Structure 1
């Protein structure tokens, strides 16, 4: 596990944040807080790293799971997904690309972040989420671990509301956000 510096990831974007993984327990707790039928849900993990969230979600029956990662860690994520023995979700897609350039599919209704980037990259991703929401109004739930940068990025976005906040440890917080019903924001 451990941490991997931005330099060792081969990234030169000053807005990228080092790789670290979140505990299985915290991921499961937050995914279980979302009131959706997982078999009809598509989960998108931004900065999927080595694929821990993808593996946990794949053990459940989601309609589809997408991982977006810019670094070379995506090859480890692919190995981890392909090596699973008790996978319930067959449709798992990994995209190696810049998150700010990734167009969110219109069926995505759960988005997971473990603090992968900040600044203009995060602002661009928030705009991509909003664009997807406007094209196809739906409930979208966003899980954001260590959400202080996210809070700043969405301060003027009244189409999102925080519905839960947890401080798992002194250095790990998590916010759960939900889109407002379309047309009421």
Structure 2
């Protein structure tokens, strides 16, 4: 089985809930970026050993928060040695708005993966875009580059629509499945 790591920052718990769902689908290890933008002692070794890395962050003011950016900048040590070359990557973002400019955050993650020489995995699920579609449907927000999630700003992580949580599990499984194909 491919080894997948979900590395994420969560400011209020919403992104953590989605990271857990992605990790469940991917059968992955979780690696939390702390409030200072750092990783635990073993974090860089865990990422180096992974076959797949899934980035996760909320979208604040049109991009990933500074804690994720600090992690991304610190990954330049892995970039210098090409430690993540040919790894499989994916990403997700959470914001309070249905759109909330999450696409910008995902493109930043995709660019980071590309700079490392990685292989990016799209969501791979058509949007639920019919009149009958509801927030309980998979990919109701219509993402394609990666996973988009909406979390109401006035509610806890348990209020994230079930369709987004299901999409998260499916995306995690897709990333690990593709990593397994490359590993075989």
Pairwise TM-score range, normalised by the shorter structure: 0.3 to 0.5
Using structure 2 for the length normalisation, give the TM-score.
0.40
Higher strand share: 1
Question: Which structure exhibits the higher relative contact order, with contacts defined as CA atoms closer than 8 Å and separated by 6 or more residues?
Answer: 2
